[in-house]
Structure 1
Amino acid sequence: MNQDLSIFQLVLNASLVVQLVMLLLITVSVASWAAIFRKLFSLGKVKQLNDTFERDFWSGSSLNDLFAAAAQNARQGGPMERIFASGMREYQKLRERHITDAAALMDGARRAMRASFQREMDVIETHLSFLASVGSVSPYVGLFGTVWGIMHAFTGLAALTQVTLASVAPGIAEALVATAIGLFAAIPAVVAYNRFARDIDRIAIRLETFIEEFSNILQRNLGAQSASGH
């Protein structure tokens, strides 16, 4: 009996539809774990790159030196560095056009940084919706497999003249394996989604704070240049 009711035997003895549901859920679970590890490493790298650039930004280096380094490091840099480069690039373009209105300069730089911020957040949030879908849909897919398996089991029992627990248990157990696999796929995805969503919110707040701080620095520079010009 123990051998007959082992997980491996239950999967082998399940109906074709239930086996397909199990295969789908296992495939989704593997893809989910791959997305979890990929996102874990990518968010760690984003945090490290942001820390490095923020340390350089507040180290006293000139904005022009930071911009030159950011231009050379465009591919390997982090989101904060690219946002800074976008704002600085737009600011310098407007200055080259001899635009002296402080409001126009600040508005242009801020819009460029906000657009860059949205692009960076789109990249950072990649695969997050997949984890949310796995976490919400997998239990229902597993439940569908279970319901189908139970229907199949009771259909087979209809031909029996005497129904005992021994004849009912294998079919029910086979069906319940689908729900177990669905939960196995869903639980890690939900936990990872909540963790990553919280981490991404922190990154977004940090980037928005940097945009405001950098905007204030540009505003002070414009004020100083305006005062010296007078």
Structure 2
Amino acid sequence: MKNSLVAVLFSVIASMTYALEPMSDEALKNVEGQAGADLSLKLSLNQKLVTENNVQRYVFDDALCKDAEYCRLALAVNNRYIKDGQASSTDGFKLWLVFKGIQGTLNIQKIGLDGVDLSYKNDSGTDQLKAAMQLSFDPSKPIQIRNFGFDALAFGQDKFTSNATTEGVGTSPADYGYLQVTRYDSSNAPRSAYDHGRETGFMGLKMNGNLAVQGKVMMFGCDGSHQRC
């Protein structure tokens, strides 16, 4: 009984199996349909939601970032080192561009995703129709930017040497240029009590606002018949 049942199942599966065949542009033109979706995205980085005076807002999460060196973004440019106090492109102590205390919330309320037909004239001047994916934006639902930025921008330098082919290794986290912690105090900033306790750096950035975007972006498969392909 079991053998006959398995044989029947295999015969049903085999009868429902079809080979996929490629479709030409002409065949795709004859396919009609409509599909779309509205997408939203909220990105919150190193922040927490608090309520003050019945108003909710995002603020820097001191508990999450109690170790300030782990709430950073660091960039290292290829072949950029310090050797004997001078810039070197071969080897030396690697340099880092460190964004300290990075945080922020971005709320993209709506992005429309649709399938549309794109019409254009090819090189010969005849009309061409292409299936395209369209991204659209609604200006009445702007992108919300809240406390987005960083506390300080600074350069960091490794305490071990590296070169273009071999990456050095430090013995402790403080050996890496992007994990070193230095703060302003009465010795290095005696006349700036406001900065005492803050991380050192030469600039900071914080943005708040709404960004209203209007328009659409189309993406489609392009061939040699389009002037920009």
> How high is the TM-score relative to the length of structure 2?
0.25
> How high is the TM-score relative to the length of structure 1?
0.25
Q: Structure 1 or 2: larger helix share? A: 1
Larger RCO (CA within 8 A; separation ≥ 6): 1
Q: Structure 1 or 2: larger strand share? A: 2
